[in-house]
Chains A and B, each alone.
Chain A
Amino acid sequence: MESAPSISGEKSFGLVKTNYFTFERFAFRSGRILGPVTLAYETYGTLNNKKNNAILIAHALSGSAHAAGFHTEHDQYPGWWDLYIGPGKPFDTERYFIISSNVIGGCSGSTGPSSINPETGKPFGLDFPMVTIQDMVNAQLQLLQHLGIEKLLSIAGGSMGGMQAVKWAIAYPGMVNSVIAIATSASLSAQGIALNEVGRQAIMNDPNWNNGNYYGSKGPDAGLSLARMIGHITYLSETHMHEKFGRRFQEEDLSTSSFKNAFMVESYLHYQGDKFVDRFDANSYLYISKAIDYFDLKKDYGNLHDAFADVSANFLVISFTSDWLYPSAQSKEIVQALRANGKNVMYTDIETDMGHDTFLIDYEPLKKNISNFLKREFERISKE
């Protein structure tokens, strides 16, 4: 899931670089302990003297720490949420201090299955511990402590990023003033798990996967590409696909038995799949997608109501009407549990044809609501 190029007239945060924070020891929820562990992160803007303007951005399945700006002047694309993070943008870097970190288990600079296991001197592969959303949050906690941030103005994310945001508010209520949870869920549906599993099977059935030991040789590119193609279908809506591609032909050729890309939608998916292989590790895809599947607040806390009992953050929850991967009803469930606990929550179900990926595109209603919510929350805590 990445954003469209944003060479719009809007100001960009400009050149940024990824930082790396390494800590000695990390205890996974599974009981495994690893160390040292590194998190890749980027920051945009300046932490103010009161240290009350910090916002943590949590990325989705295929994201990275690079959320805004450009790494070099020659970059074709900016960070994945550049449309939303920058000067004058909803996550206004002139006002707030934005932190974006790559999740533990990832492959964009954070310790994950493609990192070297210090015990063996070889990449972890499947020796890497199972990762949960809680682990991602706990690793981010270490990063925040390193950056000297005791309380976040907000934590924001869409999809799996929303899961992290919600989990943050539950696990560390004293550290979170507000949460922006977009197109997310307290637990992925059976349909969502099923689609993730098909993606994982595509990787695992690629002969090059080799039980996860493919580093140094040709990896399971075909499998990972196929997983990404399946993912992309789930991020769009039927209406949006129809509008974007319809039944338009790339090339129509009935003279030979050819199964080349005949339709535009086919070549689009292939392009997305091929592009993904260049920047993502197949084992990370397995681990992170499984973390999404395992996330279940209802199971962890008995029921959703009890999960939110001790939360003190104010919430902005946003769903999209055409999102069938994380349908609106799943956001409503979170909102209703918060309301029943007497918590402060704003909820809007934004009308859109763009499906789950709406949060990554240039969408004014989303920008406006994030911007207004943050302004109000910042005003509120500035008075305290």
Chain B
Amino acid sequence: MNLPAYPGYDLIIAEIAPGSKVLDLGCGDGALLEKLREEKQVTPYGVEISEDGVWKCVEKGLYCYQGDIDEGLSDYKENSFDYVILNQTLQITKRPAYVLREMMRISRNAIVSFPNFGYFVTRLQLLVKGRMPKNILLPYEWHETPNIHHLTIRDFQNFCMVNGYPVKKEYHFSVSPRGAPRRISMLPNLFAQYGFFMLDGERLVDLNRSVNL
């Protein structure tokens, strides 16, 4: 079983309202944005660190910025986007708390999906073998992994609660051998390979305003 090239793409596409304005943080070669443009007629924007990724975006006619995803987020006005997507990238970001706070500020909706470190296979590898987990979700050796902020679904739920980020939807999933996402409702923190959250950025802004009053 191989890691699907684009885990959760279909779930994200299903969530996005046609004609909206979307920013994909860590957009890679722009595959998701291109699908969204075709299927949902969105106005796509991307941020990507790799030259290759950005150049492929240019080829696709996607407006993409080469840089760290936390670079320049502060430039955007509140609710500049309908959706900001952070897909399989949260665990790589240098300043995850900052990125999430900015996502909530600049967008009406924040979609966050990440590999769940609480997945039972991962837990067992550490528990039984006593070694850092290496599996389809986390395919790297400890010394070469780009993942610097591992987290579980429960960690993220707790993080949202503490920060007052309203969760609109949770749709934790695993990927079948054929690559189709399958929702895991029972004990997702144990059985889901990926966490999937949609946060309400609009309500957050309202919350802040009422506090300021």
The reply to whether the CB of B141 lies closer than 8 angstroms to some CB of chain A is no
The stretch from B63-71, B86-94, B147-155, B158-166 touching chain A is B63-71
* Docked-complex contact B76 and A340, CB < 8 angstroms: yes
- On A, residues with C-beta under 8 Å from B are 314, 316, 332, 335-337, 339-340, 342, 344-351, 365, 368-369, 372-373, 376, 379-380
Q: A349 — which chain B residues lie within 8 A by C-beta?
A: 51, 66-67
* Docked-complex contact B58 and A316, CB < 8 angstroms: yes
- Give A345 to B54 CA distance when docked, in angstroms: 12
The reply to whether the CB of B38 lies closer than 8 angstroms to some CB of chain A is no
Q: B77 — which chain A residues lie within 8 A by C-beta?
A: 340
* Docked-complex contact B67 and A369, CB < 8 angstroms: no
Q: B9 — which chain A residues lie within 8 A by C-beta?
A: none
Q: A380 — which chain B residues lie within 8 A by C-beta?
A: 61
Closest 10 CB pairs of A and B: A376-B61, A340-B75, A372-B59, A344-B63, A336-B72, A348-B66, A347-B65, A348-B54, A336-B75, A372-B58
The reply to whether the CB of B191 lies closer than 8 angstroms to some CB of chain A is no
- Give A320 to B143 CA distance when docked, in angstroms: 30
- Give A277 to B203 CA distance when docked, in angstroms: 66
- Give A28 to B39 CA distance when docked, in angstroms: 51
* Docked-complex contact B63 and A314, CB < 8 angstroms: yes
Beyond the given A339-B76, A346-B58, could you list 7 further A-B residue pairs with CB under 8 A, ordered by the A residue number?
A: A340-B77, A348-B66, A349-B51, A368-B55, A369-B58, A372-B59, A380-B61
* Docked-complex contact A339 and B58, CB < 8 angstroms: no
Chain A minimum-CB-distance residue to B60: A376
Chain B minimum-CB-distance residue to A342: B80
- Give A369 to B55 CA distance when docked, in angstroms: 6
Q: Name the distance in Å between B119's Cβ and chain A's nearest Cβ.
A: 36
Q: B75 — which chain A residues lie within 8 A by C-beta?
A: 336-337, 339-340
- Give A299 to B179 CA distance when docked, in angstroms: 54
Chain B minimum-CB-distance residue to A319: B66
- Give A335 to B45 CA distance when docked, in angstroms: 13
- Give A372 to B71 CA distance when docked, in angstroms: 25
* Docked-complex contact A348 and B72, CB < 8 angstroms: no
* Docked-complex contact B72 and A350, CB < 8 angstroms: no
The reply to whether the CB of B57 lies closer than 8 angstroms to some CB of chain A is yes
Q: Name the distance in Å between A351's Cβ and chain B's nearest Cβ.
A: 6
User: Interface residues of B: mostly helix, strand, loop or mixed?
Assistant: mixed
Q: Name the distance in Å between B188's Cβ and chain A's nearest Cβ.
A: 36
Chain A minimum-CB-distance residue to B77: A340
- Give A359 to B103 CA distance when docked, in angstroms: 35
Q: B62 — which chain A residues lie within 8 A by C-beta?
A: 346
- Give A316 to B64 CA distance when docked, in angstroms: 9
* Docked-complex contact A351 and B66, CB < 8 angstroms: no
Q: Name the distance in Å between A76's Cβ and chain B's nearest Cβ.
A: 34
* Docked-complex contact A346 and B72, CB < 8 angstroms: no
Chain A minimum-CB-distance residue to B64: A346
- On B, residues with C-beta under 8 Å from A are 51, 54-55, 57-67, 71-72, 75-77, 80
* Docked-complex contact B55 and A332, CB < 8 angstroms: no
- Give A376 to B34 CA distance when docked, in angstroms: 14
- Give A316 to B57 CA distance when docked, in angstroms: 12
B55 interface neighbour in A336, A337, A344, A348, Cβ under 8 Å? A348
Given contacts A339-B75, A340-B77, A346-B57, contact A332 B51 (CB under 8 A): no
Q: B59 — which chain A residues lie within 8 A by C-beta?
A: 368, 372, 376
Q: B65 — which chain A residues lie within 8 A by C-beta?
A: 335, 339, 345-347
B63 interface neighbour in A336, A340, A346, A379, Cβ under 8 Å? A346
Chain B minimum-CB-distance residue to A379: B61
Q: B61 — which chain A residues lie within 8 A by C-beta?
A: 372, 376, 379-380
- Give A316 to B58 CA distance when docked, in angstroms: 9
- Give A380 to B64 CA distance when docked, in angstroms: 17
Q: A335 — which chain B residues lie within 8 A by C-beta?
A: 65, 72
Q: Name the distance in Å between B200's Cβ and chain A's nearest Cβ.
A: 22
Q: Name the distance in Å between A55's Cβ and chain B's nearest Cβ.
A: 17
Q: A379 — which chain B residues lie within 8 A by C-beta?
A: 61
- Give A227 to B26 CA distance when docked, in angstroms: 44
Q: Name the distance in Å between B22's Cβ and chain A's nearest Cβ.
A: 13
- Give A316 to B65 CA distance when docked, in angstroms: 10
Q: Name the distance in Å between B26's Cβ and chain A's nearest Cβ.
A: 15
- Give A348 to B59 CA distance when docked, in angstroms: 12
- Give A171 to B31 CA distance when docked, in angstroms: 35
Q: Name the distance in Å between B114's Cβ and chain A's nearest Cβ.
A: 25
- Give A365 to B77 CA distance when docked, in angstroms: 33
* Most chain B CB inside 10 Å of its own CB: which residue of A314, A316, A347, A350: A347
* Docked-complex contact B63 and A373, CB < 8 angstroms: no
- Give A345 to B62 CA distance when docked, in angstroms: 9
Q: B63 — which chain A residues lie within 8 A by C-beta?
A: 314, 344-346
Q: A336 — which chain B residues lie within 8 A by C-beta?
A: 72, 75
Q: B71 — which chain A residues lie within 8 A by C-beta?
A: 332
- Give A337 to B60 CA distance when docked, in angstroms: 23
- Give A316 to B61 CA distance when docked, in angstroms: 11
Q: Name the distance in Å between B169's Cβ and chain A's nearest Cβ.
A: 27
- Give A349 to B54 CA distance when docked, in angstroms: 10
Q: A337 — which chain B residues lie within 8 A by C-beta?
A: 75
Listed by A's residue number, 17 A-B pairs whose Cβ atoms lie within 8 Å are: A335-B65, A335-B72, A336-B75, A339-B72, A340-B75, A345-B63, A346-B58, A346-B62, A347-B54, A348-B66, A349-B51, A349-B66, A350-B51, A365-B55, A372-B55, A373-B58, A379-B61
Given contacts A365-B55, A372-B58, contact A347 B76 (CB under 8 A): no
